[in-house]
Structure 1
Amino acid sequence: MNEIFLHDNDQQWTDLGEGVMRKILVFNEELMLMKVRFKKGAIGILHQHPQTQISYVSAGKFRYHINGVDRILNAGDSCIIYSQLVHGCECLEEGELIDSFTPYRGDLIQST
């Protein structure tokens, strides 16, 4: 991506199925920002990746599982997920996450 500015309305949502949608926002090779929307009961399956991730709960309520520890996060809460930690979440109240990754997730760019 060569743009410095990005308008939310110009970006498309990708339906990941089972009540989860993703929208890639600005990124370069060092950093990526995206939104992820969840319907109540939707699951972010357990997974891991080499990137460090920070998640901010912009709306809703989520149960996060990170490296064997579970926590409930509400709107305004955040967490950091270090490289290769197994993590996932369950949406307890319909909501949206703002996720950032460093370095960027090239695998997500190729799948959009």
Structure 2
Amino acid sequence: MTSTPFQIENELPWEEADQGIQRKMYGYDEQVMMVKVKFEAGAVGKLHSHPHSQVTYVKSGIYDMTIGGETKRIKTGDGYYVKPNVLHGVVCIEPGVLIDVFSPFREDFLGTE
């Protein structure tokens, strides 16, 4: 399972991830996946865990991010790392976009699991 070599912003569909949260899948193969996630103010990425390593860059916005019981306010230009199976979640304070990278790829995002 592999994405196309190029992902063109205006050709990629947004999909609803949760209330006030949308995402677009960018490049992926079985080892890695990049996802753009758009948040409205007040949207909540509920506490959850998954077996994937996750690295995220804050493209825009302000968020209260909780990882393993520790919460920090993060903003444009910041980032974070989540080890596999660690409980984490986010509350959007000011609308914005997160760029998530997962390893291995999120089969659940592609509906293949």
TM-score normalised according to structure 2 size: 0.94
Question: Do the aligned partners of 2:3 and 2:26 also contact (CA within 8 Å) in 1?
Answer: no
Q: Distance in 1 between matches of 2:34 and 2:24?
A: 9
Q: Distance in 1 between matches of 2:46 and 2:25?
A: 19
Q: Distance in 1 between matches of 2:100 and 2:50?
A: 14
Alignment of 1:71-90 (within 5 A): 71-90=72-91
Shift of 1:18: 1.5
Q: Distance in 2 between matches of 1:2 and 1:98?
A: 17
1:95 aligns with 2:100: no
Q: Which runs of 5+ in 2 are unaligned?
A: none
Q: Do the aligned partners of residues 57 and 2 (structure 1) sit closer, same or farther apart at CA in structure 2, a change above 3 Å counting?
A: closer
Alignment of 1:35-54 (within 5 A): 35-54=36-55
4+ residue runs over 6 A deviation: none
The alignment partner of 2:109 has SS state of helix
Q: Do the aligned partners of residues 68 and 2 (structure 1) sit closer, same or farther apart at CA in structure 2, a change above 3 Å counting?
A: closer
1:59 aligns with 2:60: yes
Shift of 1:2: 4.4
Partner of 1:10: 11
Number of residue equivalences: 111
Identity rate, percent: 34
Q: RMSD between aligned alpha carbons?
A: 1.1
Q: Distance in 2 between matches of 1:106 and 1:95?
A: 25
Partner of 1:106: 107
Q: Distance in 1 between matches of 2:30 and 2:60?
A: 28
Q: Do the aligned partners of residues 2 and 68 (structure 1) sit closer, same or farther apart at CA in structure 2, a change above 3 Å counting?
A: closer
Shift of 1:15: 1.6
Q: Distance in 2 between matches of 1:69 and 1:57?
A: 18
Q: Distance in 2 between matches of 1:22 and 1:71?
A: 23
